[in-house]
Structure 1
Amino acid sequence: MKKIVLDLAVTLDGFIEGPNGEIDWCIMDDDMDFTGFLSGIDTIFYGRVSYDAWGNYQPDANAGKAELELWKNVHAKTKFVFSRQERKDDKASFVSGDIAAIVDAIKKEEGKDIWLYGGAGLIKTFIDLGLIDVYRVSVHPVALGSGKPLFENLKERVKLKLIDTKVFRSGVVQLIYETL
């Protein structure tokens, strides 16, 4: 069965965005092997706001070969957008309703794992419903003091088992946990 993988950058003080939605603190080093991560998934779950911002993002003409290849790889994935807003989109399936049932059906399909991209509201919903199988959290060497926290107002404790750690040149530390 496919796994839901939350792959996310956080600040040392636990924020996934700054107070105004900024993510300019995120570091993408070549030693992070994000391409390797993308090769292990075939589906991406978005919230509507995140999809509108990033689901069809195209780097500018001056972008390097690696960035162009990365976005080409992202856009080759099957995309589901969880939204109360119905919309026709030839690049994604918009879904609403019983999230747990929808996710269960998609997880049972043949294929690779699923990247829970976000945004924050969708991530919180998946946490509360216990739908995340793997937390792949990359802690960046910056503290913001305020912003949108990864874990906020949890309904229950999230019990995790550390399965791997990676340290990158930039000082980013990736922690990979499975849910218990």
Structure 2
Amino acid sequence: MGKLKLLMQISVDGYVGGPNGDLDWRTWEYDDKLKAFANNLRDGCDAILLGRKMAEVFIPHFEETVNRLQAKNGDKALAEMFAYADRMVSMPKIVFSKTMETIDGKNVFVENGDLVTAIKDLKSKKGKDMIVYGGAGFVSSLIEKGLIDEFNLFVNPVMINKGLRIFDLLDHRQTLSLINATPYECGIAVLTFKLRHEN
């Protein structure tokens, strides 16, 4: 499938969630250019990777959104919301879990094997790239093992002082190359880095 890409919301001071995972600090209203960037990043992938905790929120949220909106003849904003949620539901989702063998949801597959072995196997298959959106614990493990090839950090214009982080498990240096740094009208700046894989 190619590369594993991360899209992660992060505060200026390096947190991806509040102490209880709260997201009230995030900038929710994207401008059109940032929406297009996020959609293009997703559409360049043909699978979403999730940890079990994130899956328990992510999967029902988008399926309920589709069910709620599909019967409505709404405005442009509702149509965009439906299209976004419908794409998330239709994409294959691979959930990594050590405790569950099945998880309810459409296009959901559970992986119980070793994280490194499973992701290397996925990368070796033909297809597009893969994307991961969180959560903090799962992404931390991916970073620790050097499995994320491209980091797309959506830096929100706020400092929250304490909360969840994704780099604390890292116990060795990983070198990155800056691919792009773009500010958007809504206040978010997207920093895109590529991991330099050592030979």
TM-score, normalisation: structure 1: 0.93
Partner of 1:74: 88
> Of 48, 68, 81, which aligns to 1:44?
48
Residue identity matched to 1:3: K
Deviation at 1:108, TM superposition (A): 1.4
Cα distance in 1 for residues equivalent to 2:50 and 2:124: 19
Q: CA RMSD in A?
A: 1.6
Identity of aligned residues (%): 28
Task: Indicate yes or no: 2:149 matched with 1:149.
Answer: no
1:153–1:38: structure 2 CA closer, same or farther, 3 Å change rule? closer
**Normalized per residue, which structure has more helix?**
2
Deviation at 1:24, TM superposition (A): 2.3
Task: Indicate yes or no: 2:9 matched with 1:9.
Answer: yes
Deviation at 1:119, TM superposition (A): 1.3
Residue identity matched to 2:3: K
8 Å CA contact retained: 1:10, 1:150:
no
Partner of 1:96: 112
Q: Which deviates more from structure 2 when the two are superposed, residues 7-16 or residues 28-37?
A: 28-37
Residue identity matched to 1:25: W
Q: How many residues align?
A: 180
Cα distance in 1 for residues equivalent to 2:42 and 2:125: 18
Cα distance in 1 for residues equivalent to 2:19 and 2:102: 32
Task: Indicate yes or no: 2:188 matched with 1:172.
Answer: yes
Partner of 1:110: 126
> Of 136, 145, 154, which aligns to 1:129?
145
> Of 31, 34, 47, which aligns to 2:33?
31
8 Å CA contact retained: 2:49, 2:132:
yes
Partner of 1:85: 99
Partner of 1:56: 60
Deviation at 1:65, TM superposition (A): 1.1
Cα distance in 1 for residues equivalent to 2:134 and 2:112: 15
Cα distance in 1 for residues equivalent to 2:170 and 2:41: 27
Deviation at 1:74, TM superposition (A): 1.3
Structure number with greater Rg is: 2
What SS does structure 2 have at the residue aligned with 1:9? strand
Residue identity matched to 2:33: D
Deviation at 1:80, TM superposition (A): 0.6
**Normalized per residue, which structure has more strand?**
1
What SS does structure 1 have at the residue aligned with 2:22? coil
Unaligned runs of at least 5 residues, structure 2: none
Q: Which deviates more from structure 2 when the two are superposed, residues 42-51 or residues 101-110?
A: 101-110
TM-score, normalisation: structure 2: 0.84
What SS does structure 1 have at the residue aligned with 2:132? strand
